[in-house]
Amino acid sequence: MKKETAVALKYDKSGQGAPKVVAKGQGEIAQKIKEKAAEFDVPIFQNEALASSLLNLNLDEQIPANLYKAVAEVFVWLMQSEKKASNTK
């Protein structure tokens, strides 16, 4: 059985640098990250391979160029999710 994994990213919309890892963990820590996301209505995107790669980064570290495309897909999904949610209100 695989351990539950979670990674939280932050992106500065001013365009200054790549997204950064702001929280990461497995097991109980992953559960707390997901609970905090739910508390603030942050949608959760599931991608085990990407999460595994991001776990290798340090906190506050920018994502490396080889993960740009995968992380961009997450942010596109997030924007689409937010747009759908605002259209249903």
Burial (0-12, 13-18, 19+ Cβ within 10 Å), 5? buried
Residue 43: phi and psi, rounded to 5, are -65, 150
SS3 67: helix
- With a cut of 70, say whether residue 1 has pLDDT above it: no
For residue 29, the SS3 value is helix
| Residue 85 pLDDT grade (very low, low, confident, very high; cuts 50, 70, 90) | confident
Q: How confident is the model at residue 89 (pLDDT cuts 50, 70, 90)?
A: low
DSSP 13: T
CATH of domain 5-87: 3.40.1690.10
Q: Find the largest Cα–Cα distance for the chain.
A: 41
pLDDT greater than 90 at residue 54: yes
How far is the C-alpha of 7 from the C-alpha of 23, rounded, in Å? 6
With beta carbons less than 8 A apart as the criterion, state whether 61 and 20 touch.
yes
Question: Regarding predicted confidence, which is higher, 63 or 83?
Answer: 63
Locate the domains of the chain by residue range: 5-87
Its pTM stands at 0.83
Given a cut of 90, whether residue 24 has pLDDT beyond it is: yes
CA–CA distance, 84 with 81 (Å, rounded to integer): 5
